[in-house]
Amino acid sequence: MNTWFKAVLVGAGLVVGVAHAGVVNINTADAKTLAKELKGVGPAKAEAIVKDRAERGLFKAPQEITRVEGIGPAIYEQNKDNIKVKD
């Protein structure tokens, strides 16, 4: 497959294996799900989200995820359309 064609497929999201973030409830998701669905959130940050939630209570709004150490405005902006706090 030539480079130009591959670039077109990747840009269109047509290559198998291209990950798409799904909507995730940050009040109920486990660490594995958070790490999978949120861009810029790996296992350590996902565990920090779960720990914060357990210690400080549920998030009332999606942007409150920034109260978690290591989750700043940039990570929130990348994920804001995929974060929910209520079912």
- Report pLDDT digits (tens) over 36-81: 999 999 999 999 999 999 999 999 999 999 999 999 999 999 999 9
Q: How confident is the model at residue 19 (pLDDT cuts 50, 70, 90)?
A: low
Nearest partner of 43 among 57, 26, 25, 30, judged by Cα: 30
Residue 51: inside a domain, yes or no?
A: yes
What's this model's pTM, rounded to 2 decimal places? 0.76
Strand partners, 84: 25
Predicted local confidence at residue 42, as pLDDT? 97
Residue-number span of the structural domain to which 48 is assigned? 19-84
Total Cβ atoms within 10 A of residue 64? 19
Residue 3 lies in a domain: no
44: domain CATH number is 1.10.150.320
In a domain, 67, yes or no: yes
Question: Which neighbouring-strand residues pair with 24?
Answer: 83
Determine, yes or no, domain membership for 68: yes
pLDDT for the residue 17: 45
CA distance 34 to 47: 9
CA 83 vs. chain centroid, Å, equals 7
Please give the structure tokens belonging to residue 23.
């909507």
- Predicted confidence at residue 87, as pLDDT, reads 79
28-36 average pLDDT score: 98
Task: Count how many domains the chain has.
Answer: 1
